[in-house]
């Protein structure tokens, strides 16, 4: 309980000092069944609508438009405001346009367990999430429901897309479908609560250029909860975290990972950096730290050399659909494919 209260307190302190440009008790106008507030000269926020006779609000398959015309003015829809879809239990799907840049607290509280559809992961990763992590009947007031989908499909094996260099605070908070996360080399920062409450997360690979991991980024990722019992440091769900950064990223605080992760999850790091991780603040709380065999990206077979045998090993892994080496992603894009074979060959020819 003390852990939960501390988690909530720190998250609320971390909220940006911004003026929320949304009046959750009123709306400026309505177009095609969606209610809006004007939040700028040509910007709109989706807001809540009046409850019906059964105490419910929006319903059906709802598509938020990118632009709205009203009284001769063209507006861009940029925000989903606080409580916008509160108790919207009859929504079967919600499609969010690529113009959305901000989603505020309790936007989907007590809402639907149906798809939130976004055109692509880049759009989702660009959104700023403003979270009020209070509790309601033992569970957090969620921005992203545990059944949320992006691009209409479960995010089981999540690879952060190439255009994303920073994972914002709470971006994948409570996204229950995620099993495996790959954070490629182009990402430099993982925000607060970014993967908190991802209760089925099994493995995480952190790229070589990540320098900072925010508080609670992987907090309570190692426990599935029922009712109000949802924190147990002895339950382990994440099997392994692989971090190929040779310099240990700065970890904001001890709650970046849960105690269960520190105690049970295997942390795999470059062999040359093993002592650095064992000495680094908060990384040194991991009980199980192992060296990744090999010289670095390209040393697919882990023999501490990069040569033609690694090309053969990489091709074999691809042909057998059994890529196991952390160093098989030669180009650092988060995926292992024929481009890595080409990259490895080029590396050998140019060395």
Read off the pTM.
0.79
Q: What is the pLDDT of residue 56?
A: 62
Element (H, E) at 346: helix 338-350
**178 CA to centre of own chain:** 9
Least confident range of 54-58, 94-98, 157-161, 177-181: 54-58
Confidence at residue 52, expressed as pLDDT on a 0 to 100 scale: 63
Residue 88: what pLDDT? 79
Cβ-contact 255, 280 below 8 angstroms: no
C-alpha to C-alpha distance for 208 and 249, rounded to whole angstroms: 9
Q: How far apart are CA 303 and CA 201, in angstroms?
A: 30
Instruction: Kindly report the number of other CB atoms within 10 A of residue 297's CB atom.
Output: 23
Best-predicted range by mean pLDDT (13-17, 40-44, 263-267, 332-336): 263-267
Strand spans (E) along 58-153: 59-63, 67-70, 73-80, 90-96, 102-104, 116-118, 128-130, 135-136, 139-140
Query: H/E element holding 315?
Result: helix 308-319
16-20, 228-232, 325-329, range with the lowest pLDDT: 16-20
Which of left, alpha, beta for 220 (phi over 0: left; psi -120 to 50: alpha)? left
pLDDT of residue 51: 67
| Ranges of each domain in the chain | 1-151, 154-292, 301-351
Average model confidence (pLDDT) for the chain? 80
Could you tell me the pLDDT band of residue 60, with boundaries at 50, 70 and 90? confident
Tens digit of pLDDT for each residue in 293-322?
Answer: 888 888 888 888 888 898 888 888 888 887
Domains 1-151 and 154-292 are alike in CATH topology: yes
- Phi/psi for 247 (5° steps) reads -100, 120
Q: Stretch 141-169: mean pLDDT, rounded?
A: 70
Distance CA 68, CA 34 (A): 10
Which letter does DSSP use for residue 56 in this model? -
Query: What is the mean predicted confidence (pLDDT) over 68-76?
Result: 94
pLDDT at 167 over 60: yes
Structure tokens at 312: 């053969």
Structure confidence by residue, pLDDT tens digits, 241-299: 999 999 999 999 998 998 889 999 999 999 999 999 999 999 999 999 999 988 888 88
Model confidence pLDDT, tens digit, residues 99-140: 999 988 778 777 665 667 777 788 888 899 887 553 333 333
* Cα distances (Å, whole numbers) of residue 47 to 44, 66, 202, 322, 338: 9, 15, 36, 47, 47
Q: Are 182 and 333 in contact (CB under 8 A)?
A: no
Share of the chain above pLDDT 70, in %: 78
Computed on alpha carbons and rounded to an integer, the radius of gyration of the chain in Å comes to: 22
Mention the CATH class of domain 1-151: alpha beta
Q: Superfamily for 154-292? A: Ribonuclease Inhibitor (3.80.10.10)
Compute the distance between CA of residue 289 and CA of residue 266 in angstroms, rounded to an integer: 6
Decide if pLDDT at 334 tops 60.
yes
Q: Is a pLDDT exceeding 80 seen at residue 17? A: no
C-beta of residue 85 within 8 angstroms of C-beta of residue 57: yes
**How large is the average pLDDT for residues 166-183?**
88
């Amino acid at each position: 309980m003390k852990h939960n209260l501390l988690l909530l307190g720190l998250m609320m302190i971390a909220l940006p000092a911004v003026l929320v440009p949304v009046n959750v008790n009123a709306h400026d106008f309505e177009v095609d069944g969606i209610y809006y507030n004007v939040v700028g000269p040509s910007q709109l926020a989706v807001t809540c609508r009046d409850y019906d006779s059964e105490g419910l609000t929006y319903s059906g398959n709802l598509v938020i438009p990118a632009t709205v015309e009203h009284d001769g003015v063209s507006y861009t829809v940029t925000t989903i405001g606080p409580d916008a879809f509160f108790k919207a239990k009859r929504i079967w799907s919600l499609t969010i346009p690529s113009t959305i840049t901000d989603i505020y607290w309790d936007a989907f509280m007590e809402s639907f367990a149906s798809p939130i559809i976004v055109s692509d992961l880049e759009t989702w990763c660009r959104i700023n999430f403003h979270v009020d992590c209070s509790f309601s009947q033992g569970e957090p007031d969620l921005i992203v429901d545990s059944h949320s989908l992006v691009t209409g499909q479960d995010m089981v094996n999540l690879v952060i897309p190439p255009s994303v260099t920073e994972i914002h605070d709470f971006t994948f908070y409570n996204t229950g479908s995620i099993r495996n996360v790959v954070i490629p080399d182009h990402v430099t920062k993982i925000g607060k609560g970014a993967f908190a409450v991802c209760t089925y997360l099994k493995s995480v690979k952190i790229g070589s250029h990540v320098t900072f991991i925010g508080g609670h980024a992987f907090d309570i990722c190692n426990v599935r909860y029922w009712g109000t019992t949802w924190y147990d440091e002895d339950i382990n769900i994440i099997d392994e975290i692989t971090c190929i950064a040779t310099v240990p990223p700065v970890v904001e605080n001890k709650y970046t990972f849960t105690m269960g992760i520190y105690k049970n999850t295997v942390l795999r790091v470059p062999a040359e950096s093993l002592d650095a991780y064992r000495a680094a603040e908060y990384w040194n709380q991991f009980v199980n730290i192992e060296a990744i065999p090999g010289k670095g990206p390209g040393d697919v077979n882990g023999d501490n050399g990069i040569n033609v045998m690694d090309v053969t090993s990489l091709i074999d892994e691809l042909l057998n659909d059994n890529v196991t080496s952390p160093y098989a992603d030669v180009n650092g894009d988060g995926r292992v494919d024929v481009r890595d074979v080409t990259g490895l060959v080029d590396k050998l020819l140019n060395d």
